[in-house]
Structure 1
Amino acid sequence: MPINSLIWGKFDDLPFPYPLACHLLDTAAMAAALWNSYLTDAQRRMVAEGFGVAVEEGGGLLAFWAGLHDVGKCGPSFQGQSSGPQPGFLSEPEFSGPQGWMYEGSVRHERVSHLVVPALLAGYGYDVACRPGRSVAHQVGQIVGGHHGVYGAMLDRVTLADPCRAEPRVGASAGWVGQRAALVELLHAVCGRPVVPARVAPVGVAVLVTGLVVLADWLASKAGWVLARLEQWRAMGDEDWVAHFERAVDAAPAAVAGAQLAAPVWRSAGSFAEAFPRITEPYALQADLGRRLPELVRGAGLLLVTAPTGDGKTEGGLFGARVLGAASGCAGLAVLLPTMATTDAMWSRVRAYVAGSTVEDTPVTLLHGLAWLNADYALDGAEAVLDDGCTSTTAGEFLRRRHVGLLSGAAVGTWDQAAMAVLPVRFNALRWLGLSGKTLIIDEAHAYDAYGHALTVRLLEWLGHLGVPVVLLSATLSGSIAQRLVHAYLAGAGHAGLPEVSCAYPGWLFADADSGQVTASPTIPTARARELQVDVHSVRHTHTTSEPGGRARHLAEQLAPLYDAAQDAGSVLVVCNTVPDAQKTYLALSRKSGSRRPQVLLLHARMPVWQREEITNTLIGMLGPTATRPKQSLIVVSTQIAEQSLDVDFDLVVSDLAPLAQLLQRAGRGHRHLLGSRGRRPAWALKPRLVVLSPTGQLPPRAWGEVYDTALLRRTHTLLTDRAGQPVSVPGDVAGMIETVYAELNHLADQTLQDDRERARREAVQCAAADTAAIPAPGSLTDLYPVTARDIEAGAVTTRLGADSERILPIYTDHANRRWLDPSCTTELPMPAHGSKRLDRNSVADLIRLTVQAPARYLPDRAVETKAPQEWSTTPVAAELRLLPHCVTSDGAVHRYDAGGHILHLDAQLGLVRTPAHR
């Protein structure tokens, strides 16, 4: 049967309908180009081996399947939709639809593709008589049916063999059946009559192929591509489908290149010195990796590096990724970190590394919720000045789109970007396509609760299943968690009966994905070993300096040299466990008097974005790795964000009691850099020292809420007090102390207390929650349906348990009920420009910089005055903001907002302040 060119595939915003056959051929051509120029060697091998075909046969096979993705548009539901061109052939009997009230509803075209493709493939040697879970035809049906980001449920045998009988709405009349068969025959012919796969592929391979089909469809659906092909098609006027395909094949490589979809090409680096020529004297850890790792690695595997801050883990991890990527054929690179602030800083480092280490332009994407607010990333462009011998790292428009950032040759993002791949969210196949061609570096691998670690375990199972090389970096990872992560990766790679695993500290281990063998380094000496003096003070948790034995009095004593002009100037970091404590501490220290007045800064998470950025940049300029030490004394009061977000160096660190890992991270902000000619330490802080203010009585104090686990606080306090002021040898004592505090319940034997058992119960609940939320482990799946969920709500899954925060925009309402962005009432809330339905990008960016991140419970759910303006409802991001209204009276006084049980207001210095409401 000749193909009917009036069967359309694209229509919106086009001068004429675009034939469906043209779009299918375009997508097939695009998939072939992606196979040749985007997929890595490892990905091509994986797909070919997964389906039991030769690598050279894989490109044609995937092109054929990608072309099938929209064959479901050849049916009455899609062709007859009211918003389409309503072609005249719909009135012909052979193109009739099913009659009866039960068929009045439409069926989505991707569902039709899933239903009809298996039976259509039967004519080309695909088996549809076996169980659906063992049918390649059915697996291909699920793959093409999933091209809108969600997989359909597995079909039964009846539907598999005869979809028209099971679901007449697909189009059971002769015209539809014949046209679908003709489309498949055309695709099969132009793709070189690809072989029939020998077997059903592992689920990870099927997900990867789905990602490629989605990507090919998106590229072939771009407006510029479709318009160009449509013009050619109408200009030729010969309805030569093969010629159209050949034109698409010729044009596709340029389209793929224009989207910057290419695997990186790295310069040769067989040694650490070649990878980092500017490091003339590598740290011992780096030198050991450079000497031993290349001889050990023969393919994919997991490299775990544990060392304290300052031992060069980042460069060691990048070198490890270079070695693993070259050996496994996974040329891409992804670096994942726990916070947006650390991610922004790492993006700059990785970008410079990629620019000097690749031989072709390699885009480096920045991936987190506010990446578009990063000024360097937002302004990054082709006109950027490059150093001699460097390549461009600019990510273009396509790679900045939603869902596709991980497809870049190199990516730096928050850990959540990869963790989302193990949640059943729409288009997670694109995440797996991006991840499967890369070597992943997960930094700060210890920085997650039990829920986050459980998601990381599932992530590593899938990465091992896909043969993706992984590098884990950590300063304070407990042995039990390290073993769980290594075992997860090896189990995903197909290994059972796994041995005990231990990693030296400082040191590294390598788990080979192919053999399952684990090789560990000896303990590696460090030139940065130091003795950390830890002084624990038991204090009453008060902010009144007049109270003996209170927290405020002890803090004042520790900071006395900064207020004394006779003492050397210096810098001190004070870390509080809650924002209210930080705000009260800042106020007390700002009001404290002496013969010298130090500069006091406050930094915490509930400040407007612009203010956090400004203060962070100020600190980097004063105490960063290249800064000259300030002559004025400085006190910085902060919260947990100081643990990971700041590469700054203080002379002394004072901290509220926290679990040991957090305390060590905080202590790492003291004596962090070698000062050299940039300054000197004050006489009162010549050696590294951490002062811990440990509250007496109940742990944690009621004012802290549930910010930290009771057992970990108690065990940390006990460990430190039992040491009786004995210095902590870093790194020598760290591993043993971590194991003591974070020992699992079954290792504590008769030493367990009630809070230990409560901790074990809470962690078990979190792990169970993660297991429920995550997609199943790959080894247990033959069906793609559980990998996504069509009815999932946007907020129904999360990578961080309890992450119920939202962005709050403080606004100011005058006596006329007009709303402003500033207390002076000079800048009105922006509205869409005349004739536009949305705010422009710059207006949204300006709004976000004014927002404060805070728990969702802070504002009442149903309060009308806290809802974003209706005019913002169609503007992404802006529509999700919550308003914090401040009433401004005619005399300029700004009133606070009564949120029910508490009062909220934005203070220019303190950030968002929350106080109890007195009724």
Structure 2
Amino acid sequence: MTGEGKSSSGLRGRLDGPVLTVWAKHDRDSDGWLPLWRHMEDSAAVAGLLWDTWLPAGVRRLIGSALPGGEQDARRLAVWLAGVHDIGKATPAFACQVDQLANRMDAQGLEMRSQQSIGPDRRIAPHGLAGQALLGEWLQERHGWTVKQTGQFTVVVGGHHGVPPEPGQIAALHKHGQLLRTPGPSRAVWRRVQDELLDACADEYGVRDRLDEWRSVKLPQPVQVLLTALVIVADWVASNADLFPYFPQDVARSSEERVAAAWRGLDLPAPWCPDDPEGDAQELFASRFGLPPGAKVRPVQEAAVELARTMDEPGLMVIEAPMGEGKTEAALAVAEIFAARSGAGGVLFALPTMATGNAMFPRLLDWLKRLPGAEDARYSVLLAHSKAALNEDFAELMRESGHRIIAVDVDAPEEPLWRPSDKTRSAPAELVAHAWLRGRKKAMLSSFVAGTVDQLLFAGLKSRHLAMRHLAVAGKVVVIDEAHAYDTYMSVYLDRVLSWLGAYRVPVVVLSATLPAGRRRELVEAYAGGKAGAARSAAEFEAVGEARAYPLLTAVTPGGEPVLRSPEASARGTDVILERIDDSLDALVDRLTDELDGGGCVLVVRNTVRRVLETAQALRARFGDENVTVAHSCFIDVDRAAKDADLLKRFGPPGKAENRPAEPHIVVASQVAEQSLDVDFDLLVTDLCPVDLLLQRMGRLHRHQRGERQHERPERLRRARCLVTGVDWTADVPAPVRGSVAVYGAHMLLRSAAALLPHFEEGHSRPVRLPEDISPLVQTAYTDGPAGPESWAPAMAEAFEQYERHCADQAGRAAVFRLEEAGRDGKPLFGWVAAGVGDADDTRTGRAQVRDSRESLEVVVVQQRADGSLTTVPWLAPDRHGNRLAGLELSRDQVPPTRTARAAASCGLRLPIQFSYAEVMDRAIEELEGLYVPAWQVKDSHWLSGQLILALDEDCQTRLAGFSLRYSESDGLEVTSA
């Protein structure tokens, strides 16, 4: 099971004497312990099973490509490295930690000073670094390797706790040899034991006769990363005492019985192994997405499938197509083809926000259930963002997964978010939120993941256990949605991640409706480039940056030349009449009174929450509260989800939506209306914003056909019209309102106004033709050439200088913790994440590392009665099982019941930017900590432990850090100066 050279009695049969007393693990509560030889054997066996049944074929292929014996060599190497990874525990620096176990070793001649006498010097020799040194010494002295040859292999041992050693640490250890072997007579015994273990592993795992040939190998850094990650996973599994019990409880079982029982208990789902889908694009889309009778696959979808099938090998594909053209379905179809061709074992769908991730997750599940063989399949799935446990679809998967193994990360123990029931999920497609894959460092190893783009960007951030994130993405097809939505700061990380994905030969699909041509070229070059790309002429990519066709497909393989395809646009199209209107609430109210005389549904998009609320108040005075709906980012989580669901229910596509208002209705929204909501309005009013985002907003206007020539819409609103406001249009140079400038900057707003100017000119204007005008407008706004009237030039030049300084500042700050590009083959990963950020996770602090945003405060909103008691807010709807959630008492004397605590946690709220400035934030935290409930700060209270609690009074108001706060179910949070 563990490779050629395996003896009938396993590793134990090759060992005798003092080596059998060396220990690896100890449980202080039970006094159980595990010999080092046993843990080495367990880890090697697990690595072999992971290789054979869990690691995607593409990852195995990549590792094998670096070795002379291909995948057979790669398996041997992985198993051997897992076997020797803890050799550093056979040292005095480690063994002295438990007196009774140290005394047993001492009695066998392995003398050591006590932990106290070694003192702080122990920190110089953590067992990973010590193991790296011992393995390197063994390879050099016993097998004739040079120091340069050993590092690329031994760094896997040195980095198996998440951080490869730095050169300074290695040098310091060389000066303290007594930490590896006690000086004096016992030194020889220590050396004999260490060599005996390494010799036994070399023989047992079949590498002794391969070492001479491996000596000339130059392992690429991506391969070093993947081997390190595989050893980490094997170590974590083998370190789980539930799976691999300690002695003396498990001393009688054979190694084979022990490993077999553990593997059955772990029960990891196998990777996805799709066949290349048969049939043409029409058949593929009909079977995977349930096309309605008579529906035809769209040209861009057909072209994407054809291109995926004809590329030399899977690589990067950028799909640019209008909103509503089915880019998501195209990406999933391409992902299936790419996975079949590349050996990828899953899909990562990265989206800009939690809300878009939540919207994507059920679509991903539905696609999985339609895949061939789904009735017999078992897939591990994940919704990857910090509030995933509050998502009902994901929570149901977690409840129904019947796996009881509760594993923890060895060096960072953490409690699971839930404990599974005894239920099992029924076919089709057993979708499993697997218990072992629930730790924050392991979750991304799930085969199918939908989540925020942060999870992908973390792969470009120097952080602890970065190798695990790389293993997670290296085994998948990666889909990046809304690629235009990421600013310079995020793009610095995205481009670096793409360079590593290219090095791993990971297939990638990038989606956008409004991608600037320059950004398209940067994405393609980042993926195809690396060291090879730098050597090629940039001229190969000029066509990518100059292409103006739309829709457009761009494809490139790692190290290859880009390919462009221009599929026909679908027959769907809309002409949008643009009109400038004054930024006056009275003018807006009067205009909408006229426009809605015969009924209709209007979307008004504002650039700030304050403008949303001010606009809604003015409109309600004229149209009534019941005819105005508000949507923005400052709602508690459960209300935000309800808002999205309500908008889809009332304003969604024909045949799916219910109760589209017969009376005039106005939705006033912030940017939350731009992305991933399939809603359809008769008229659009929008603040001026960057042109790509304005086009996204237009995508909510006449999005669907409502009768022939839109005759089912009110007569006055049968032509699509967009009224642009938020600007003083009478000024010599358009003057956007201050809030819009604060959000987007003057440069992008003026470039947008200049690009749109031909569509505004009185007497000469023409409609914006969608989709034909999307690319010309975006490219005009995002190129550096002159735009707008000559009289605008001085103002635009000043705005551009400010924009350039801002972008340079963003790029500079992002580069501080950005991972370097993959180094030359054979260069060890020493110092790979040096000067990094420590742990990176999906918390507000973690997200701030890959997004250029001020750290925000997140609170859980509850209500406080006059008597001081706390309850959940009073308007919560019952859960899907009919259980009451509103007004449930939150006891301060004990942990609330799970349903109550979860209901409270679902009322999370991110406070607006006023609370992100240092002095205000400090004051707010201090005041919020006044409502500290000790009873909730226990490990069994994961829903509320560590949360900041914002208590509203019975009128749903409170004061915080000098501001007055008011919350309502209809309007969300309103903040005013006290």
* TM-score of the pair, normalised by structure 2: 0.83
Contact map agreement 1:575 1:656 (CA 8 A) in 2 = yes
The one of 571, 582, 593 aligned to 2:612: 582
User: Aligned in 2, Cα 1:116/1:870: closer, same or farther, shift over 3 Å?
Assistant: farther
1:798 maps onto 2:849 in alignment: yes
Matched, 1:571 2:597: no
Q: Which stretch shifts more, 685-694 or 174-183?
A: 174-183
Counterpart pick for 1:145 among 138, 154, 158 = 158
Residue identity matched to 1:534 = L
* C-alpha RMSD over aligned residues: 3.3
Report the CA distance between 1:843 and its aligned residue: 5.2
List gaps (5 residues or longer) in structure 1: 237-242, 540-549
Residue in structure 1 matched with residue 268 of structure 2 by the alignment: 259
Q: Which residue of 2 aligns with 1:897?
A: 959
- The answer to whether 1:317 aligns with 2:331 is yes
Q: 1:386 to 1:346 in 2, by over 3 A?
A: farther
Aligned match of 2:8 = none
2:635 match: 607
**1:354–1:372: structure 2 CA closer, same or farther, 3 Å change rule?**
same
Counterpart residue number, 1:542: none
Q: What SS is found at the alignment partner of 1:527? A: coil
Q: Which residue of 1 aligns with 2:232?
A: 214
**Alignment check: 8 A CA contact 2:462 2:837 kept:** no
Q: 1:601 touches 1:635 (CA, 8 Å); kept in 2? A: yes
1:554 paired with 2:587, answer yes
CA 1:126–1:787: 2 relative to 1, 3 Å: farther
Q: Is the 8 A contact 1:7 1:87 kept in 2?
A: no
CA-to-aligned-CA distance 1:802-861 (integer Å, 9 cap, x gap):
14122122345566655555489965545584xxxx777655533321121124527541
Q: Which amino acid aligns with 2:39?
A: H
Match for residue 276 of structure 1?
285
Give the conservation status (yes or no) of the 8 Å contact 2:350–2:452. yes
Where does 1:517-536 land on structure 2 (aligned, <5 Å)?
Answer: 517-536=561-580
Q: Which residue number corresponds to residue 463 of structure 2?
A: 425
Q: What amino acid is the match of 1:556?
A: V
CA contact 1:106–1:169 (8 Å) conserved in 2: yes
Counterpart Cα distance in 2 of 1:419 and 1:514: 20
**2:976 aligned partner:** 915
Q: For the residues of structure 1 that align with 2:951 and 2:442, how far apart are their CA atoms?
A: 37
Question: Alignment partner for residue 436 of structure 1, among 460, 474, 483?
Answer: 474
Q: Is the 8 A contact 2:229 2:467 kept in 1?
A: yes
Aligned partner of 1:80 in structure 2 is 96
> Distance between the aligned counterparts of 2:471 and 2:503, measured in 1?
13
Q: 1:673 to 1:394 in 2, by over 3 A?
A: farther
Larger mean Cα displacement after TM superposition, 488-497 or 447-456: 488-497
Counterpart residue number, 2:244: 226
Deviations for 1:219-265, whole angstroms, at most 9, x for unmatched residues?
212232112x75784225xxxxxx52x44564565456x12242333
Letter in 2 for 1:259: L
1:18 offset after TM fit, Å?
A: 1.8
Query: How has the CA–CA distance of structure 1 residues 657 and 83 changed in structure 2, closer, same or farther, with 3 Å as cutoff?
Result: farther
1:771 aligned residue (815, 820, 823): 815
Q: Match of 2:543?
A: 501
Determine the C-alpha separation between the residues in 1 that align with 2:778 and 2:507. Answer: 27
What's the counterpart of residue 857 of structure 1? 916
Counterpart of 2:633 in structure 1: which amino acid? A
Give the drift of 1:367: 0.9
* Counterpart Cα distance in 2 of 1:535 and 1:747: 19
Compare 305-314 and 104-113 and name the one that shifted more: 104-113
Which moves more between the two structures, 705-714 or 417-426?
705-714
**Deviating more after overlay: 27-36 vs 184-193:** 184-193
Q: Which amino acid aligns with 1:10?
A: K
Give the drift of 1:433.
0.6
Q: 2:21 maps to what in 1?
A: 6
Amino acid at match of 2:21: L
Structure 1 residues 817, 345: CA separation in 2 closer, same or farther (over 3 Å shift)?
closer
The Cα shift of 1:288 comes to 2.2
- Determine helix, strand or coil for the equivalent of 1:494: helix
* Aligned residue number for residue 905 of structure 2: 848
The alignment partner of 1:506 has SS state of: coil
Q: How many equivalent pairs are there?
A: 872
Q: In structure 1, the residue corresponding to 2:378 is in which secondary structure?
A: coil
- C-alpha distance in structure 2 between counterparts of 1:850 and 1:694, whole Å: 32
Residue 487 of structure 1 deviates from its aligned partner by 0.6
Conserved? CA contact 1:806–1:881, under 8 Å: no
Q: Which amino acid aligns with 2:783?
A: A
Q: Does 1:734 align with 2:774?
A: yes
Residue 97 of structure 1 and its aligned partner are, at CA, apart by 3.2
> Contact between 2:817 and 2:836, CA under 8 Å: does it hold in 1?
no
**Residue 726 (structure 2) aligns with:** 694
- Distance in 1 of aligned mates of 2:720 and 2:566: 27
Could you tell me which residue of structure 2 aligns to residue 22 of structure 1? 38
Contact 2:461 2:836 (C-alpha < 8 Å) held by counterparts: no
Query: Structure 1 residues 691, 14: closer, same or farther in 2, change over 3 A?
Result: farther
**Structure-1 separation of matches of 2:108 and 2:252:** 28
CA distance in 2 between counterparts of 1:188 and 1:255 reads: 29
CA distance in 2 between partners of 1:157 and 1:860 (Å): 42
Structure 1 residues 156 and 865: CA distance shift in structure 2, 3 A: closer
Structure-1 separation of matches of 2:789 and 2:69: 54
Q: Residues 718, 553 of structure 1: CA spacing in aligned structure 2 closer, same or farther, 3 A cutoff?
A: farther
State the Cα distance separating 1:521 from its structure 2 match: 0.9
**C-alpha displacement of 1:570:** 2.2
- Select 2:179's aligned residue among 166, 169, 188: 169
Go from structure 1 to structure 2 and tell me whether the alpha carbon gap of 1:396 and 1:293 turns closer, same or farther (over 3 Å shift): closer
Query: Structure 1 residues 749, 20: CA separation in 2 closer, same or farther (over 3 Å shift)?
Result: farther
Please state how far the C-alpha of 1:414 moved relative to its aligned partner: 1.3
Where does residue 402 of structure 1 map in the other structure? 440
Q: CA deviation at 1:768?
A: 1.9
Map 1:538-553 onto structure 2 (within 5 A): 538-539=582-583, 550=584, 552-553=585-586
Measured against aligned partners, the alpha-carbon deviations of 1:865-902 in whole angstroms (never above 9, x if no partner) come to: 3124344445557444333344x5xxx666531413x3
Deviation at 1:754, TM superposition (A): 0.9
Q: Is the 8 A contact 2:319 2:553 kept in 1?
A: yes
- 1:786 alignment partner, SS class: coil
Residues 460-471 of structure 1 aligned to structure 2 (within 5 Å): 460-471=498-509
Tell me which of 372, 376, 380 is aligned to 1:363: 380
Q: Distance in 2 between matches of 1:412 and 1:336?
A: 6
- Residues 433-476 of structure 1: CA deviation (Å, up to 9, x unaligned): 11111111111111111111121111111111111111111100
Whether contact under 8 Å (1:461, 1:493) holds in the other structure is no
